[in-house]
Amino acid sequence: MLITMQANFKLKFALSSLILGALLAHTGQADVNWDGDGAQGNFTWSENWYGNTTPSFSFAAGNLVFNVRNNASQLNQYYDFASWANINDIIWETTWSVPTTFNGNGNGLNFNQRLENRSSQTVTIGSMNLSGGKNGATQIELNPANGDLTLNGNLYNDNNLRYKVYGSNSKMLTVNTALSVVLS
């Protein structure tokens, strides 16, 4: 009987640990995820977001992640919110399968630290306004990690932080806009 009770205790402990681990993993930071179901890439169109609900933007909301573009007629992303919004980092994931341009209506996004292209496609920041180095960031990273990254729109550096570029695979960062530069 003692062996059975010990085995039963071990099984209950293992299950409790598994459930606790799953709960803790779920309480981590979520991201704002784009799935691109809409005919056009407007931010205000709920069908462009996972769950078909336009998300709330804040630094606490996590990263803005462009995962897929499910509607083939969608040629770019268009920021059409009525005001500036905050987000942690901006990332095009490895699952992003088409070259894209990110445009805007004159308002824009404040982002924490990273503007990163993990996809193998070229990402162009067109008429979009971005302001980096927010929410306690120590630098602004412009990362053509797996695909080229071209900056044509405004990139503000209100906190006068250093720019860092990370990437390999001979991918190119092209800057066609003025950047304030911090010298060491």
- Per the confidence metrics, is the pTM higher than 0.75? yes
pLDDT of residue 23: 37
Tokens 């573009």, located at residue: 69
pLDDT of residue 13: 43
Per-residue pLDDT, 134: 96
* Side-chain half-sphere CA neighbours of 122 within 13 A: 10
Rounded Cα distance, 163 and 184, in Å: 11
- Flag residues of the chain having pLDDT under 70: 1-29, 181-184
pLDDT at 6: 53
Q: Cα separation of 168 and 74, whole Å?
A: 29
Confidence (pLDDT) at 26: 35
pLDDT digits (tens, 9 = 90+) for 4-47: 545 554 444 444 444 444 333 333 457 999 999 999 999 999 99
